[in-house]
Amino acid sequence: SGPWMCYPGQAFQVPALPGCRPVLKLQCNGSKVPEAVLRDCCQQLADISGWCRCGALYSMLDSMYKEHGMQEGQAGTGAFPHCRREVVKLTAASITAVCRLPIVVDASGDGAYVCKDVAAYPDA
C-alpha cells in the first residue's frame, strides 16, 4: 500500500463516500448527526487505506459541489446553503478525526487525524 494507490486512473478507485455526505451537511449546518449515519460514514472511511482517506473526502467534496453546478473559483455554496465555504472545508477535513481514523500524512509514514489537503482545497 502507498499513496500511488489513490491517484485517479490507477487500479484503486476512491469512492465518493455516499455515507459521509449527510454527515458533512448535518455537521456544517449545526445539526446533530444521528449515530447510525455517523457509523455508516466511519465504516466507509475505515474501508479505505489511511493513505487515501483525505483523497476520498476531497473527491466527495468535489463531487458534491459539481452536482450543484459549482465550478472552480465560483462564489456561493449551493451544496451547503447555510454554511460558509471555510466551514465546509474544515468540517470535511475533520471527519477522519470524528471517526478516530488515522491518515498518513507523507511518505515518512507520519500520521495525523485531520486532513490538511482537504482544508487547503481552494474550490470547496
In a domain? residue 109? yes
Average pLDDT over residues 68-95: 71
In a domain? residue 4? no
In a domain? residue 74? yes
> 9: pLDDT confidence band, cut at 50, 70 and 90?
very low
Domain total in the chain: 1
In a domain? residue 73? yes
Domain that holds residue 82: 19-120
Give the CATH number of the domain where residue 43 resides. Answer: 1.10.110.10
- What integer pLDDT is reported at residue 4 of this predicted model? 53
- What integer pLDDT is reported at residue 41 of this predicted model? 96
The dihedral region occupied by 76, where left means phi > 0, alpha psi between -120 and 50, and beta the remainder, is left
In a domain? residue 7? no
Q: Where are the beta strands (DSSP E) in 3-124?
A: 103-104, 111-112
- What separation in angstroms does the CA of 15 have from each of 7, 10, 49, 66? 12, 13, 12, 15
In a domain? residue 66? yes
DSSP structural state of residue 34: P
In a domain? residue 10? no
Beta carbons of 15 and 56 less than 8 angstroms apart: yes
Q: For residue range 20-73, what is the model confidence (pLDDT) as tens digits?
A: 999 998 988 888 999 999 999 999 999 988 888 888 888 888 888 887 765 544
Q: For residue range 99-109, what is the model confidence (pLDDT) as tens digits?
A: 999 988 766 66
Return the C-alpha torsion angle 8, 12, 13, 16, nearest 10.
Answer: -120
In a domain? residue 112? yes
Place of cell 482537504: 118
